[in-house]
Amino acid sequence: MSTEKILIIGAGGQIGIELTAKLSEMYGSSNVVASDLKNTKAFPNNPFETLDALDGKALFDIVRKHGITHVYHLAAMLSATGEQHPMFAWKLNMESLFNVLDLAKEKHISKIYWPSSIAVFGPTTPMQNTPQYTVMEPSTIYGISKQAGERWCEWYFKKFNVDVRSLRYPGLIGWKSAPGGGTTDYAVHIFHEALKSGKYECFLSENTALPMMHMEDAIRATIEIMHAPAENIKIRGSYNLAGISFSPKDITAEIKKHIPDFSISYKPDFRQGIADSWPKSINDSEAKKDWGWHEHYDLPKLVENMLVNLKEKVGV
Ligand code: NAD
Ligand code: SER
């Protein structure tokens, strides 16, 4: 019988769908409560709660109702959409985090997972092999909110001993769920279009290298950091997580090994400016040292896995 009762906020999103499934496998579906603004019917076996993460009272009521111990707080507005709605992105990303941190401060829950992002870095950050501790001057509202969120998480840990854990995810690539409003989303769309039409128009330029990661690795990292002994978690802001660095040109070359006729064209839009402000590769030696992180996917393995699984899923 699991003693952990989990609430996932933003369960219907790209990460939430996969994390809910994985945690349900581990703890049993009845111990993993999925929540989002709307019920997407993606969780037939899990308890589901309609929840606006900005509504602290509703969140508290759900925590009480289900006896929640651990919250995975995924709801946020991502980088590209955040630039279109800056004030609301700030409100959502910050106030919802406070609602969750306060639940732990008041001892209603015992552990929190909250994701940060490579967007905490900015144009003045060293771009290659970006270290854990470095210049951080994010230039998007999303990045500013994640940077501020990291500092708040660390502050709640130091002041109130809130057990909050966090990863700076790179761009995440998976075949089970669709991304929403990010700058790294091209690296998911490209697979769908490669299989559907054999061509793709990319909103980033061909040599724009960014850190990326297969969703399976990201979900495993999330579960590993949440299971690590508290004393091993030396960083209570957020850990760098590296994954694989590649550009649209690199991923195209790898896709062409499977689909020789695949073609790509480039039409950079405002997301180019966001991508240009982010690191090209990340140093995650602190995560490796503190809680034993190690990624499994390289670019050839990621591309093969995406194509095989998506092909089966969409039946092309
Ligand atoms: P997503 O946009 O796919 O999903 C977010 C989910 O939150 C959606 O289902 C949405 O309906 C829900 N949501 C939005 N507003 C809400 C509200 N007020 N109350 C409750 N739910 C609400 O995002 P994702 O890619 O799954 O990202 C999840 C988290 O991981 C975010 O914090 C994001 O910043 C972070 N992250 C994601 C990536 C990535 O590449 N996907 C990379 C770095 C960090
Ligand atoms: N993948 C995310 C985005 O592009 C990074 O946090 O917004």
Name the average pLDDT for the chain: 97
Topology adopted by domain 172-212+243-314: UDP-galactose 4-epimerase; domain 1 (3.90.25)
Q: What is the pLDDT of residues 239-286, one digit of tens each?
A: 999 999 999 999 999 999 999 999 999 999 999 999 999 999 999 999
Whether the Cβ atoms of residue 59 and residue 100 lie closer than 8 Å to each other: yes
6-170+215-228 and 172-212+243-314 agree in CATH topology: no
Within the chain, where are the H helices?
A: 14-27, 56-66, 79-84, 86-105, 141-160, 186-196, 215-227, 248-256, 271-276, 285-291, 299-314
Q: What is the pLDDT of residues 155-171, one digit of tens each?
A: 999 999 999 999 999 99
Residue count of the chain: 316
Ligand 2 interacting residues, C-beta cut-off 6 A: 78-79, 117, 119, 142, 171, 182-184
Among 120, 140, 183, residue to substitute to test ligand 2 (most atoms within 8 Å of Cβ): 183
- SS3 assignment, position 132: coil
Which of 144, 172, 48, 149 is closest to 96 using CA atoms? 149
**Ligand 2 atom with least separation from CA of 82:** 7
State the pTM of this model. Answer: 0.97
24 CA distance to ligand 1 centroid (A)? 19
* Domain 6-170+215-228 CATH superfamily: NAD(P)-binding Rossmann-like Domain (3.40.50.720)
Q: Is 180 in the pocket of ligand 1 (CB under 6 A)?
A: yes
258 CA distance to ligand 1 centroid (A)? 31
**Could you tell me the pLDDT band of residue 153, with boundaries at 50, 70 and 90?**
very high
Contacts of 5 (CB under 8 A, 6+ apart): 31, 33, 66, 67, 68, 69, 70
How do the domains of the chain map onto residue ranges?
6-170+215-228, 172-212+243-314
Q: Is 142 a catalytic residue?
A: yes
Query: What is the reported pLDDT for 127?
Result: 97
Among 14, 79, 130, 204, residue to substitute to test ligand 2 (most atoms within 8 Å of Cβ): 79
Q: Among all ligands shown, which has an atom nearest to the Cα of 215?
A: 1
Q: How far apart are CA 106 and CA 122, in angstroms?
A: 34
Cα 7 to Cα 29, 46, 59, 162, 310: the distances in Å are: 11, 11, 10, 17, 29
Is residue 130's pLDDT more than 80? yes
Ligand 1, atom 25, lies closest to the CA of 14
Q: Among all ligands shown, which has an atom nearest to the Cα of 274?
A: 2
Q: What is the pLDDT of residues 212-221, one digit of tens each?
A: 999 999 999 9
